Amino acid sequence: MSGNILELTDLTFSYTSRGRTVRALDAVSLFVAAGEAVGLVGESGSGKSTLARVALGLTPAQFARIEAGQIQIDGRDATHYSEDDWSRMRGNPVAIVFQDPLSYLNPVMRVGQQIAESIVRHTPELAVAPRVRELLELVKLPAVCATSYPHELSGGMRQRVLLAIAIACRPKLLIADEPTTALDVTTQAEILGLLAELRRRLDMAMLLISHDLGIVAQACERIYVMYAGRIVEWGSTSAVFETPAHPYARGLLHAANADRDSEGRFVTIPGDPPGVGVAPIGCPFALRCAHAMSDCTKQMPPAVLLDQASGHTVRCWLHRSDGAGGPQG
Amino acid sequence: MTPALLDIVDVSKTFRRTRTEVVQAVRSVSLTISAGETVALIGESGSGKSTLGRMALGLLKPDSGRVLVEGRSLYDLSGADLRSARVAMQPVFQDATAALNPRRTAREHLLQALAVRGAATEDQAAALLESVGLQPGSEYLNRFPHELSGGQRQRLTVARALAPQPRLIIADEPLSGADVSIRGQILNLLLDIKRERGIAYLLITHDISVARAFSDRVAIMRRGEIVEMGPARLVLTQPEHEYTRHLLAAVPALPATRSSIARPGHRCAPGLAR
């Protein structure tokens, strides 16, 4: 067994709607090993949330199709899982929390009951009431919250409830899809602190999906950068942030820092992010890239390992495995 | 001495939530903006920053206090005087899609805004589009909002705000809906407008990195009060108030990127980078 809780290998995934096929993920490879924190960053429409849903079998079966590649969860091949198979995987070994807790909580059900549902479903051997108290304590909510309705809680408290439900099943991997995007910075800092503590106490791996590079830098050991359904760069967080190799990753980092150039203008990436499902031949970033060459629009570049120790890898024609590449940044 | 462009003097606003429960959204806040100055109003949700922005725009009457636009009390004006005071300040909102009429083209949006100043022509509308980077302008005139990308839609709302030739733009979270790579484009546009036209900004934001990079002065708001105000460089590096320190500490820091960008003119100036 590989020790990876989640492993996607060359996964190509598409949605079909009204005869139109939209490729949301294109040859995506990613893994999360036991206990580690991995970040997945990308802009809206890059496919990062689709990836989260695919990893839990949450995509609508009538529209969704895995075209190629493999999904492995906790050492088992989940590529061709049925809905029944998936329902056994959700909660344990893999659980998820979403951006907007209000839309994932039942508005007319007390919070304690909603946490209890998860306990009954996944760990029926446990006494429910003490376990609910224990979970509320773990996410640092007062026990009285069990009798509250979601609307009576603040945004940060609701996210804690969602976390309590997710960890109720003792997952080995928690997928957190933009868990703090709807929150204020000070609340965000509390939730990130709580996530780190829960990971330590429960020895849980995390896949943190975000458009916010800052929170990923803070919370994750490794990072993947996604653009238009493809992963374009990955490696240890420090390697990718300090020496980004892909022009998109570089631009994104400067933009996130609100860096300015010598004329005092903000560094930007020209053009617009591609629409969902626009699948150009070659590198999807070529249209916006200052370094685009003829190769870029012909073929998607292969993955090139830049540094063994940090696992820093990039898919860009500027970096060629034979060392005959163009400018290295 | 010429009066300040916008002078908010000791304004308060209370909302009644239920019969007994009241919310003090803004408590005796004062804020002055001079011509050509950029002020960022930073606060978390519920701090009252948007309420203050709406009172400054003339959209919400304060319970007490005064809003002076170039020395004239906004809520005591009527008729032509009120119109001319309102023309001096134009809003840009967070959600460009909601701020545009889905059944109107860019031309209709702009001609309506231009009409405030008198007869409007299509050429003026096209020139406005070009001034916000939608080139060639004539090509965008017939577009409906849904035929524009998110970034282009925000540019259109900026063009509409510029149409009456305001001296102050009040922008409420103009970048929150934009992706990181688009954010810089909109910031550059606002920067160009400031340089070319000398327009002042009141930028309402929760994003400290944007405030730091963009504004001359910042005001930190919390629970309806401005807790700290001063030059951006000073307040955001050596905060005096405990809340400002708490807020700044909560912003996750990015590790420094060592790479320079090969393209000329696209390099990050070391003095300006964090």
pTM (two decimals) = 0.86
Tell if the CB–CB gap between B254 and A256 is shorter than 8 Å.
Answer: yes
Count of domains forming chain B = 1
Cβ of residue A268 closer than 8 Å to a chain B Cβ: yes
The residue range of the domain holding B127 is: 100-165
pLDDT (tens digit, 0 to 9) for every residue of chain B, 274 residues total? 678 999 999 999 999 888 888 899 999 999 999 999 999 999 998 899 999 999 999 999 999 999 999 999 999 999 999 988 989 999 999 888 999 999 999 999 999 999 988 888 999 999 999 999 998 999 999 999 999 988 899 999 999 999 999 999 999 998 877 788 788 888 899 989 998 999 999 999 988 888 888 899 999 999 999 999 999 999 999 999 999 999 999 988 887 776 544 333 333 333 333 3
- Reference A4, options A100, A94, A88, A69; nearest CA is A94
Tell if the CB–CB gap between A290 and B151 is shorter than 8 Å.
Answer: no
Domain ranges for chain A, please list them. Answer: 4-220, 244-314
pLDDT tens string A8-52: 999 999 998 888 888 899 999 999 999 999 999 998 888 999 999
Structural domain includes residue B266? no
Q: Which residues pair with B171 in a beta bridge?
A: B92, B203
Partners of A306 on chain B (C-beta within 8 Å) are: none
Between the two ends of chain A, the Cα-to-Cα distance in Å is: 38
For residues A172-183, average pLDDT: 92
Task: Answer whether CATH 3.30.390.50 is correct for domain A4-220.
Answer: no
Can you spell out the DSSP letters for A74-126? TTEE-TT--HHHHHHHBTTTEEEE-S-HHHHS-TTS-HHHHHHHHHHHH-TTS
**Cβ-proximal residues to A18 (8 Å cutoff; 6+ apart), any chain:** none
| Chains A & B: contacts with CB separation below 8 Å | 145
Tell if the CB–CB gap between B184 and A253 is shorter than 8 Å.
Answer: no
A60 to chain B, closest Cα gap in Å: 27
Q: What is the pLDDT of residue A326?
A: 44
- Reference B253, options A258, A231, A197, A37; nearest CA is A258
Structural domain includes residue B223? no
What tokens does A231 get? 């992963």
Residue of A nearest to B45 (CA): A184
Mutate to test the interface with B, among A218, A252, A267, A312 (most CBs of B within 10 A): A267
Residue of B nearest to A244 (CA): B259
Cβ of residue A244 closer than 8 Å to a chain B Cβ: yes
Closest CB to A253 among B183, B250, B254: B254
Closest CB to B179 among A44, A215, A265: A44
Mutate to test the interface with A, among B42, B181, B189 (most CBs of A within 10 A): B181
